[in-house]
């Protein structure tokens, strides 16, 4: 299937372009980006122009930041294209619901991707936890925004979500592996005095679930989730790439593909079956944190 990539920036070049190049299902046939290009691929700077000029491209993958993404998604759906959305699927829950309604009405596929859910050990963690009683779950998610989003001021503008941009990856794993849903009861959000979104967050959910996110962390990343159960402790490390159960490292299934190749396999299946996959539960927790969170002002953040 021919596909167009929209928003050729960091994640498009790091992950989407190589995953598409390696896939037997997909041919990267066009890009839409004001400055970004992929060598050897037809480049448009305007979405409407691409949708009009290339009716043979039936699928569009949107790699823009969340705030500008809605208008592009709506235009693609209105033009009868199947749409794949980078995480988070939108800047608000309302716009995600609106896209799902539009996709259903247009009869096209829509996929809210959560790349961290495709990490090597996440399915195995979910399977192990399915028949356990969870006493406690704690997320420890710390990384350096300067390394992962160098100079990307949109992260700190309204709708950019701040530390929830990486934190939502942890929440996407949490909502996949927990046997029963939880909801947020309180939060503390640390806003740099010169920015519109938080750089750190402490979250408390029902049923012993908690999280700490920090985006101003120096040194090696912590992307860990520890789950205490009636059968002992399961820990996911490195964003779900590794799993330890009661002190024993667990091996990953043989031949497992990377996160983005797995997402593109799922998109190929959705298009083949006409499916819509819009699980918004990670975004719902983020929205709750912004609604319930206590605001703490911390020193200014500069790159
Ligand atoms: P980015 O490089 O800052 O932005 C991607 C591209 O979107 C830009 O190169 C730009 O291309 C276009 N764009 C930016 N603002 C725009 C606007 N206002 N209107 C139209 N186009 C705009 O961001 P990114 O790091 O790739 O992140 C994009 C999405 O991927 C985010 O939702 C993020 O959460 C997700 N993601 C990022 C990473 C990561 O490691 N960075 C990892 C996983 C997922 P043009 O200027 O050429 O139009």
Output the pLDDT for position 223: 98
CA distance 57 to 81: 8
Give the burial class of 297: count Cβ atoms within 10 A of its Cβ; 0-12 exposed, 13-18 middle, 19 or more buried.
Answer: exposed
Identify the three-state secondary structure at position 40: coil
Output the pLDDT for position 253: 81
127 C-alpha to ligand 1 centroid (Å): 33
Q: Which residues, 6 or more positions from 181, have their beta carbon under 8 angstroms from its beta carbon?
A: 175, 281
Output the pLDDT for position 84: 98
47 C-alpha to ligand 1 centroid (Å): 15
Does ligand 1 lie within 6 Å of residue 33's CB atom?
A: yes
Region of 123 please: left (phi>0), alpha (psi -120 to 50) or beta. alpha
Does ligand 1 lie within 6 Å of residue 118's CB atom?
A: no
17 close to 41: Cβ distance less than 8 angstroms: no
Atom of ligand 1 nearest to the CA of 35: 47
Does ligand 1 lie within 6 Å of residue 148's CB atom?
A: yes
Query: Residue 145's closest CA among 218, 66, 238?
Result: 218
155 C-alpha to ligand 1 centroid (Å): 10
CA distance 262 to 268: 10
CB atoms within 10 A of CB 192: 20
pLDDT in tens, the chain (303 residues): 999 999 999 999 999 999 999 999 999 999 999 999 999 999 999 999 999 999 999 999 999 999 999 999 999 999 999 999 999 999 999 999 999 999 999 999 999 999 999 999 999 999 999 999 999 999 999 999 999 999 999 999 999 999 999 999 999 999 999 999 999 999 999 999 999 999 999 999 999 999 999 999 999 999 999 999 999 999 999 999 999 999 999 998 888 899 999 999 999 999 999 999 999 999 999 999 999 999 999 999 999
Output the pLDDT for position 126: 98
Q: Which two tokens stand for residue 22?
A: 């390696």
7 C-alpha to ligand 1 centroid (Å): 6
Output the pLDDT for position 52: 98
Domains present along the chain, CATH in parentheses: 2-112 (3.40.50.720), 116-254+286-298 (3.30.360.10)
Does ligand 1 lie within 6 Å of residue 10's CB atom?
A: yes
| CA–centroid distance for 145 within its chain | 16
Our mutation pick for probing the ligand 1 site, out of 10, 153, 223, counting the most ligand atoms within 8 A of Cβ, is 10
141 close to 223: Cβ distance less than 8 angstroms: yes
CA distance 256 to 140: 25
Residue with tokens 């790349």: 115
CA distance 300 to 303: 10
Q: Which two tokens stand for residue 121?
A: 């050990």
Determine whether 176 is an active site residue.
no
CB atoms within 10 A of CB 150: 10
279 close to 112: Cβ distance less than 8 angstroms: yes
Output the pLDDT for position 254: 82
Residue with tokens 């912590």: 222
């Amino acid at each position: 299937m021919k596909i167009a990539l929209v928003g050729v920036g960091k994640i498009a070049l790091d992950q989407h372009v190589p995953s598409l190049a390696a896939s037997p299902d997909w041919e990267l046939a066009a890009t839409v980006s004001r400055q970004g290009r992929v060598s050897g691929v037809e480049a448009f700077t305007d979405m409407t122009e691409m949708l009009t000029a290339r009716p043979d491209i039936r699928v569009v993958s949107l790699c823009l930041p969340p705030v500008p993404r809605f208008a592009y998604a709506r235009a693609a759906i209105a033009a009868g294209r199947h749409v794949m959305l980078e995480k988070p699927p939108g800047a608000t829950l309302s716009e995600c619901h609106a896209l799902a309604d539009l996709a259903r009405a247009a009869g096209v596929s829509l996929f809210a991707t959560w790349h961290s859910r495709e990490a090597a050990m996440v399915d195995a963690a979910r399977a192990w936890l399915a028949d356990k009683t969870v006493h406690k779950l704690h997320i420890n998610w710390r990384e350096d925004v300067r390394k992962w989003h160098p100079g990307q001021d949109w992260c700190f503008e309204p709708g950019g979500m701040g530390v929830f941009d990486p934190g939502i990856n942890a929440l996407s794993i949490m909502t996949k592996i927990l046997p029963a849903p939880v909801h947020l009861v309180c939060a503390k959000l640390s806003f740099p005095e010169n920015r519109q979104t938080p750089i750190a967050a402490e979250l408390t959910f029902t049923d012993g679930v908690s999280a700490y996110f920090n985006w101003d962390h120096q040194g090696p990343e912590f992307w860990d989730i520890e789950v205490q159960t009636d059968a002992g402790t399961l820990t996911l490390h490195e964003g779900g790439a590794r799993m330890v159960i009661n002190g024993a490292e667990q091996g990953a299934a043989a031949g497992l593909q990377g996160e983005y190749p797995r997402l593109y396999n799922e998109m190929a299946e959705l298009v083949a079956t006409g499916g819509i996959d819009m699980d918004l539960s990670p975004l719902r927790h983020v929205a709750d944190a912004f609604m319930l969170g206590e605001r703490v002002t911390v020193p200014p953040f500069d790159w």
